[in-house]
A and B are shown apart, each in its own frame.
Chain A
Amino acid sequence: MPTKIYAAKKIITMSHTRPEATHVAVRDGKILGAGTLEELERWGDYTLDETFADKVLMPGFVEGHAHSSAGSVWDGAYLGWFDRVDPDGKKWVGLKTIDGVVQRLKEAAAAKPDEPIVIGWGLDPIYMDNVRVTRDDLDQACSDRPIVIMHASGHIMNMNTFALEKAGLLKPGLNHPGIPLGGDGLPMGELKSPEIMGPAGAKVGFDRGKAIEGSSAGLISYARLCVRAGVTTATDLARALTEESVAQALRITGAPDFPLCLVPFRIMMGLSPEDLVNFVAGIKAKSTERCDLGRIKVVADGSIQGFTARLLWPGYQNGAPNGQWYVAPEQMAEIYERALAAGVMVHTHTNGNEATQLAIETLEAALKKVPSPDNRFTLQHCQLATPAQFRRMARLGMCVNLFANHHYYWGDEHYKYTVGPERAERMNACRTALDSGVPMTIHSDAPVTPLGPLFTAWAAVTRRTASGRVQGAGEKITVAEALEAITLGAAFTLGMDHLIGSIEAGKRADFAVLEDDPFAVDPEKLKDVAVWGTVQGGRVFAAADI
């Protein structure tokens, strides 16, 4: 195979021995070495590629917690407050008023007159002074087909009158906290809590489960979003994988121009712990360079803003009852033990610190039965972890993936409403994690927030919230630490740091191609560093052409 040497303005390797280089040599989709042209010429015949002569190369970014539904959500109309770029690269301007939301829905309904249902997503009225969107509002956009809108938080759904009627909900006398009523005694259009949203959606033909899970076709648009964000390896965390959907994922990712290494996790639901671990251990061998299989996601609790996260004392500031378990402690223990024995990695969603405590104690007990010093069991989100919890995680060989984007988007809400100032300031405690010796990465949870590791890094560096405040300055990390978190840090949590995460001899030729040097810009501008595209496995993908 021929050797190609790429010249760049600067190559940030994330390797401590050789942090910078001017050239990188690639053969067979892998890195021969990074250094000067003269050093790399020793590998023999080569072609010199100057495409990136005025660009900055970094290791391809690794998104440790996102969902492929970040691609398929774009089948619906984007209604969020913030500007957002779709898989085609089109920027959708954030909507600041209800009128704007109605207008966009109207356009979406007109654009697809044959669709039986009009779907919107990403609505977040907390930025509009918590204005309530009503069915009357939505009726202005479309009144002869159902409209279903999922809020950005995922915890509220809006419907128009047509949809409520079809769902059988347009009647007086409903008495359920998940169905707020208007002055006329009829549902005002918001629906809350899964036990209401699920069935109501189903009755109008909206499959909330599928909307969350994403579709196989959505993998392609997900990968395109990844190229625009400089991401070369991304998790799909998680899906109800079956033999069939695994085969489909292998087929789609196997296309010669598929620009991403996908890392799908199997969600714990639907299988007994034994069947779950056996299934996941079994599909591991099917892994390819672009589809890395064999990991499990356990969900321990819910979300903080939905008041379903499990919190240690003193709980929620407004006195809401503690949240909900999504797994029984015994089931978690059995999954951990079986997975450790089978060499299968488990990442566990914990939002509240009580869920984090359970995961730590459960893993500690499992490790006594199945000693596994390099287990890399990772807590995902882990937003409210205490310093003592981080210290204990470090000693157990655990990793953490903190939700830096969440701190930006909902930090103000947590400060004001859910857990109050002190705990809001220590949420997503990157500084404490690193200082405690817990291997760490940070994430977007796309489509919950937009995919964009440089933005995520910026959020962890600045600790800014959407209102512009710095919240929890003591938990700031440096630009270098944040860039490591979105490359090697994430690779480590996935057990892939021997393959990806830095530009070093022997690793996959995965690069994020940047227009600027993230070390040279003002840290406050880190999120604005433009991404030209990626190189994945030695294949070049320009965002402009994807």
Chain B
Amino acid sequence: MTPALPVTVIGGYLGAGKTTLVNHLLRTSGLRLAVLVNEFGALPIDSDLIEAEGDALVSIAGGCVCCEYGDDLVGAVMQVMALEPKPDHILLESSGVAIPGSILASLLFVDGLRGDGVVVVADAAEIMNTAGNRYLADTIERQLADADILVLNKADLVDEAALDSVRNWLGAQVPGTRILPAVQGQVPHDALLGSVPLPRRGHRISGHAAGLFSSVVLHPSGPVDPVALATSLAEGGHGLVRAKGYVANEAGGQTLIQVVGARWTVEPAEPGHQTGVVCIGLKSGFDPGRLDGLGLVEAV
């Protein structure tokens, strides 16, 4: 069985830094990404990354591609799913007024896709103003509410007090949503995408810029109910941003668990994987000790 192709919707209002974030992920993730954009205006890919521009598809360094979806999202998704070799992950950059959760919902009909999560980018300097705009207030509210992970971008453009105040404000708007401050979209890619390295002995999890993040591997003590574990990781207040890994299930097989913010999925897996769940969180909000009740916590 081919594993489902993960899709991450990147939403947020105009100018928040969605495109910057996409380019950062193209440069750092090491994944073959297929980037779908609502419309080609000025091409939303840094020019040094572009290898060739076709009619419908732009080739990007590292085997990545970009294409426009306009009003035919499903058609564009089918097109990138047919690529050989297949992309590792689809990034769907929505338009500035779109409601990202609706976009993700529309993809759930496409067989072979897995909604990985909704990442909403907010401009630290502007988000409160935009949310106060009488034309946009409810749109911003809905966008924020759809976020599994909020990237609070342009954190360098405001002073510490202002950053605190926007964080507090966001915390009140969408309690429980993971908020990652960032400068120029530079969020560690494994905090956002399905590239959480699966646990291997001696493997080092890298890329945690500025030491903001910490990672551990959780080893449940025996077979678990994967749904219960995934729910606990996603909703248990541990402060996790992402988690991914294989666990032994009560039926004697293995299950792949993936958590993005408060969203989780479980899928049956072929046996034989090294078990353990990599958990990543912001140091400021993630206390690995709190995972103790779920199994053995191994530092990495």
Contact = CB atoms under 8 A, between A and B. Distances in A.
Interface residues of A, number: 36
B41 A274 contact: yes
Contacts of A167: 109
Interface in B8-24: 13-15
A310, A325, A330: residue with the most chain B Cβ atoms closer than 10 Å: A325
A331 B109 contact: no
Instruction: Give chain B's interface secondary structure class.
Output: loop
B96 interface: yes
Contact of A195 (B39, B103, B111): B103
A76 interface: no
Interface stretch (A118-126, A199-207, A449-457, A527-535): A199-207
Contact of B97 (A194, A209, A328): A328
A269 B97 contact: no
Contacts of B109: 167-169, 196, 199-200, 203
A324 B14 CA distance: 16
A270 B40 contact: yes
B228 interface: no
A300 to B, nearest CB: 10
Contacts of A198: 71-74, 106
Contacts of B15: 330
A487 B11 CA distance: 45
Interface string B19-58: 0000000000000000000011110000000000000000
A321 B136 CA distance: 13
Nearest to A169: B109
A275 interface: yes
A269 B102 CA distance: 19
Size bracket, chain B contacts: 20 to 34
Given A195-B105, A270-B68, A326 B97 contact: yes
A358 interface: yes
A161 B245 CA distance: 38
Contacts of B40: 270-272
A199 B110 contact: yes
B39 A271 contact: yes
Contact of A331 (B14, B42, B103, B110): B14
Interface in A328-349: 328-331
Contact of A324 (B42, B70, B99, B135): B99
Given A195-B106, A269-B39, A202 B75 contact: yes
B138 interface: yes
A153 interface: no
B59 interface: no
A240 B139 CA distance: 26
Contacts of A195: 102-103, 105-106
A324 B135 CA distance: 10
Interface string A296-319: 000000000000001000000000
B123 to A, nearest CB: 13
A327 B41 contact: no
B81 interface: no
Given A169-B109, A202-B75, A354-B135, A330 B102 contact: no
A368 interface: no
B13 A272 contact: no
A199 B105 CA distance: 10
B23 to A, nearest CB: 17
Interface string A265-293: 00001111111000000000000000000
B111 A168 contact: yes
B42 A272 contact: yes
21 contacts: A168-B111, A195-B102, A195-B105, A195-B106, A196-B106, A198-B74, A198-B106, A199-B73, A207-B72, A209-B71, A240-B70, A240-B71, A269-B39, A269-B71, A270-B40, A273-B41, A274-B41, A325-B97, A328-B95, A328-B96, A328-B97
Interface of A: 167-169, 176, 193-196, 198-200, 202-203, 207, 209, 240, 269-275, 310, 321-322, 324-331, 354, 358
